[in-house]
């Protein structure tokens, strides 16, 4: 068990800044996800926590003790990779037992610990099998077993499900999360898959170009993205963006877009210039009465809902509506938005404006 504190950590490779002044705390027992596109610095951050990479500057603390410069073996952190590197000439039992045998523990202790871990992972029936014939899922369970059996302070997992089929990934993600809930071990998990991050994480850090864009619970990040990047990266379909130009003042509760007034939560700051209103597809409603006029371009039936693509005077918008609601392609509708869920971004900085959302809750 461990609390991990990352303080102003920076990592450069020559002139290239891979991780730029990162600070965050992983609470003891948390399932903590580092999310972002390829090359954003997730793996480098993870490797610095594990001690496989030394920070250029900044500090890392494990349970209050500074470990920034200590060797990986002294940190007692287990690393699980995407490519489950098992020893092909050993059977499942020997693969899991390997870290304990290297520690010189007695045969009886090793056997008992391996049996216990295999039972937790549901692979006790294949302990004597060679690893060569195992399915991707079982290979990953064995790799996890080898990490768990050491009883480390924390787990670092780098895209551990990346090599599995999409269909199998989801059930393995559930299995991994439930394993975490039973064991309660601090886990830092790297993925570029936003659905996986939302499904598994207690907390998520969204990274882009080595910078932390946002840190929060999956719901905070989804509902109130701190930047255009996060709004676009999280959610499928992603948030709709309606650009507009103007000046908005602290205390405002509406904006004017395409000559239509759109209610917003109370603004807590002034802004002007190029602004962007953001609204998620499930917060766009098709009405026949009043609102922003739009043309229905296409509908995509998804069984439990449908995604309607619409065109307003200046933007393309997607709405998620009930599967049985009628939206005729080529027809004209009026759009209304669920005001408490609206975001506004400053286009130049990409930053979200601050709102008082308490007043409009619900």
Q: Tell me if 99 contacts ligand ATP by CB under 6 A.
A: no
* 46 vs 185 by CB, closer to ligand ATP: 46
Six token digits for residue 139: 């290979």
The neighbour count for residue 352, using CB atoms within 10 Å, is 20
Taking the C-alpha atoms of residue 99 and residue 148, their distance in angstroms, rounded to an integer, is 10
Encoding tokens for residue 19?
């991780």
CB-wise, 16 or 301, nearer to ligand ATP? 16
Q: State yes or no: residue 157 binds ligand ATP (CB under 6 A).
A: no
Task: Determine the size of the site formed for ligand ATP (CB under 6 A).
Answer: 12
Between residues 46 and 341, which has the closer beta carbon with respect to ligand ATP? 46
Ranges within 169-198 binding ligand ATP (CB under 6 A): 192
Count Cβ neighbours within 10 Å for each residue of 102-120 and write b for 16 or more, e otherwise.
eeeeeeeebeebbeebbeb
Q: Which of 32, 42, 198, 240 binds ligand ATP (CB under 6 A)?
A: 42
> C-alpha dihedral over 77, 78, 83, 89, to 10 degrees?
130
CA–CA distance, 155 with 174 (Å, rounded to integer): 17
Which residues within the stretch 220-259 sit at the binding site for ligand ATP (CB under 6 A)? none
Alpha carbons 341 and 360: distance in angstroms, whole number: 9
User: Least distance (Å) from ligand ATP to the CB of residue 30?
Assistant: 20
Q: Decide if residue 41 touches ligand ATP (CB under 6 A).
A: yes
* Structure tokens given for 311: 């065109």
Q: Which is nearer to ligand ATP, 157 or 242 (CB)?
A: 157
Q: Using CB atoms, what's the residue nearest to ligand ATP?
A: 43
Tell me if 44 contacts ligand ATP by CB under 6 A.
yes
Nearer to ligand ATP, 39 or 72 (CB): 39
The piece of 36-44, 142-150, 235-243, 276-284 that touches ligand ATP (CB under 6 A) is 36-44
Scan residues 282-321 and list those touching ligand ATP (CB under 6 A). Answer: none
C-alpha closest to that of 244 among 273, 221, 207: 273
- Is residue 228 classed as helix, strand or coil in its secondary structure? helix
Beta carbon of residue 193, minimum distance to ligand ATP (angstroms, whole number): 10
- Phi-psi bin for 330: left (phi > 0), alpha (psi -120 to 50), beta? left
Min CB(159)–ligand ATP separation in Å? 7
Long-range contacts of 194-199 (CB under 8 A, 24+ apart): 194/35, 194/233, 194/234, 194/235, 194/236, 195/236, 196/33, 196/161, 196/169, 197/33, 197/35, 198/222, 198/234, 199/170, 199/173, 199/174
Q: Pick the piece of the chain touching ligand ATP (CB under 6 A) from 35-43, 86-94, 171-179, 214-222.
A: 35-43
Find the binding residues for ligand ATP in span 114-133 (CB under 6 A).
none
How many beta carbons lie within 10 A of that of residue 344, not counting itself? Answer: 22
Binder among 29, 39, 136, 340 for ligand ATP (CB under 6 A): 39
- The nearer residue to ligand ATP, 35 or 242, going by C-beta atoms, is 35
Residue 36 or 145 with smaller CB distance to ligand ATP: 36
Phi, psi of 361 (to 5 degrees): -55, 145
Question: In whole angstroms, how close is the CB of 11 to ligand ATP at the nearest point?
Answer: 8
Find the part of the chain contacting ligand ATP (CB under 6 A) among 11-19, 22-30, 230-238, 282-290: 11-19
Q: How far is the CB of 215 from ligand ATP (least distance, A)?
A: 16
**Minimum CB separation from ligand ATP for residue 13, in Å?**
3
Based on the shown chain and the rule CB under 6 A, indicate whether residue 40 belongs to the binding site for ligand ATP. yes
Q: Vertex 299, ends 294 and 300: CA angle to 5°?
A: 145
Q: What angle do CA 150, 152, 155 make, to 5 degrees?
A: 115
Three-state SS at 80 = strand
Q: In the complex with ligand ATP, which residue's Cβ is closer, 40 or 185?
A: 40
Residues of the shown chain interacting with ligand ATP in the complex, contacts defined by CB under 6 A: 13, 16, 18, 36, 38-44, 192
């Amino acid at each position: 068990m461990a609390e991990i504190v990352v303080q102003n950590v920076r990592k450069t490779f020559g002139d290239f800044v891979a991780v730029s002044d990162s600070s965050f705390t992983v609470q003891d027992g948390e399932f903590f996800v580092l999310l972002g596109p390829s090359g954003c610095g997730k793996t480098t951050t993870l490797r610095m926590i594990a001690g496989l990479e030394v920070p250029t500057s900044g500090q890392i603390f494990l349970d209050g003790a500074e470990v920034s410069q200590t060797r990986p073996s002294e940190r007692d952190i287990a690393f699980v990779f995407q490519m489950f590197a098992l020893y092909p000439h050993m059977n499942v039992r020997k693969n899991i037992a390997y870290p304990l045998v290297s520690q010189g523990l007695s045969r009886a202790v090793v056997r008992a610990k391996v049996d216990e871990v295999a039972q937790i992972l549901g692979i006790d029936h294949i302990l004597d099998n060679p690893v060569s014939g195992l399915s991707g899922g079982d290979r990953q369970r064995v790799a996890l077993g080898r990490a768990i059996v050491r009883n480390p302070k924390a787990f670092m997992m780098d895209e551990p499900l990346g090599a599995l089929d999409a269909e199998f990934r989801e059930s393995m993600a559930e299995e991994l999360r439930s394993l975490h809930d039973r064991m309660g071990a601090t886990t830092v998990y790297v993925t570029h898959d936003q659905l996986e991050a939302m499904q598994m994480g207690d907390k998520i850090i969204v990274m882009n170009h080595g910078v932390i864009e946002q840190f929060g619970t999956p719901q905070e990040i989804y509902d109130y993205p701190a930047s255009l990047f996060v709004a676009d990266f999280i959610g499928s379909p992603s948030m709709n963006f309606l650009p507009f130009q103007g000046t908005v003042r602290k205390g405002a509760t509406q904006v004017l877009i395409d000559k239509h007034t759109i209610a917003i939560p109370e603004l807590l700051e002034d802004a002007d210039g190029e602004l962007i209103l953001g609204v998620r597809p499930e917060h766009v409603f098709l009405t026949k009465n009043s609102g922003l006029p739009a043309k229905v371009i296409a509908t995509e039936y998804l069984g439990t809902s449908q995604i309607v693509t619409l065109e307003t005077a200046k933007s393309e918008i997607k709405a998620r509506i009930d599967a049985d609601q009628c939206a005729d392609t080529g027809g004209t509708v009026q759009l209304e938005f669920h005001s408490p869920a609206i975001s506004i971004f400053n286009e130049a900085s990409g930053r979200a404006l601050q709102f008082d959302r308490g007043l409009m809750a619900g």
